[in-house]
Amino acid sequence: MFVLGIETSCDETSLAVVRDGKKVLANVIASQNRVHQKFGGVVPELASRAHVEVIDSLFLKALRDSKITSREISLIAVTASPGLKGSLLIGSTFGRALSFASHIPLTEVNHLCAHLAANFLIEKDIKFPAVGLVVSGGHTNLFCLESRSKMKILGETLDDAAGEVFDKVARVLNLEYPGGPSLEKVAKKGDPLAIKFPCAYLGKKSLDFSFSGIKTSVIYYVKKYGSSGDIADIAASFQKAVIKVLVEKVRRAVNLKKTKTLLLGGGVASNRVLRGEMKKFALAEGIDLFIPSPILCTDNAAMVASLGYYLYSQSDQT
């Protein structure tokens, strides 16, 4: 089965063709970094316009790259939520129009669950139940995966998401947009033990996240001491504090669900320090850890197509 995936939840337009939920035949992505760079963040109206400008050409390119025709598409999977309403509407409208015109079934996909489904594109032997951690610009969520198509939220961010505070702290430090990768780059030169920023755990059993306190602490630190001479130390110490919380919350979730399988997803899962700390944790606890390649951590349509395939296959059986 050839599945067309459509992803327009924020500032990347992506269309992909995936066969049977596993084999990526095409995964075309158009970034909007240049559009939003001068604003220091995503401008929703500009994001919507940019999606409109490229979605047609990306669809044709996805067909060319996958070497199939539109008549061979068996299913359309489109991101329905969460995301910017205007951006989501562009992808949804395109998918529904194609579905109606070509008589192709369409399934709606949750963007966060799709990030975890990116692991299905690279790994076949994932054992369930599993714990999944999604770390992106707008969300930090823990999931329990009962199967490839059944995921339930265990915990979520109560204020700023991890990726969001990476971007905000990067702006405070006057780093280039996008902030997350810039901060990670600067942090490589710093001492992660130089400054002790607070970590919010929200109680001994909580699986929710709160990073606004860390962000505020960095802001006050910069106001008090300045950042001209120790930007690298600030970045490294901040990054360590955020990742320490992420690892601890994963530890709690894994112990609660008594599972030996952990999946990561989301743009922040590209962070090398986070990947390294999660690998250390998994090795020490005897856990099978799965992390997508960096290109599949960012917003992309291949993960949407993969999850759409399993959702559709499951509904077809019931």
- Point out the annotated binding site for Fe cation: 111, 115, 299
CA 117/CA 263 separation, integer angstroms: 9
Question: Integer distance in angstroms from the first to the last C-alpha of the chain?
Answer: 19
Binding-site members for substrate are: 134-138, 167, 180, 184, 271
**CA triplet 72, 73, 77: central angle to 5 degrees?**
175
Locate 24 and state its tokens.
Answer: 């990526």
DSSP string, the chain: -EEEEEE-SSSEEEEEEEETTTEEEEEEEEE-HHHHGGGTS--HHHHHHHHHHHHHHHHHHHHHHHT--GGGEEEEEEEEESS-HHHHHHHHHHHHHHHHHHT--EEEEEHHHHHHHGGGGT-S---SSEEEEEE-SS-EEEEEESSSS-EEEEEEBSSS-HHHHHHHHHHHTTPPSSHHHHHHHHHTTS-TTSS-------SSS---B--HHHHHHHHHHHHHH-STTTHHHHHHHHHHHHHHHHHHHHHHHHHHHT-SEEEEESGGGG-HHHHHHHHHHHHHHT-EEE---HHHHSS-HHHHHHHHHHHHHHHHH-
The annotation places the binding site at 111, 115, 134-138, 167, 180, 184, 271, 299
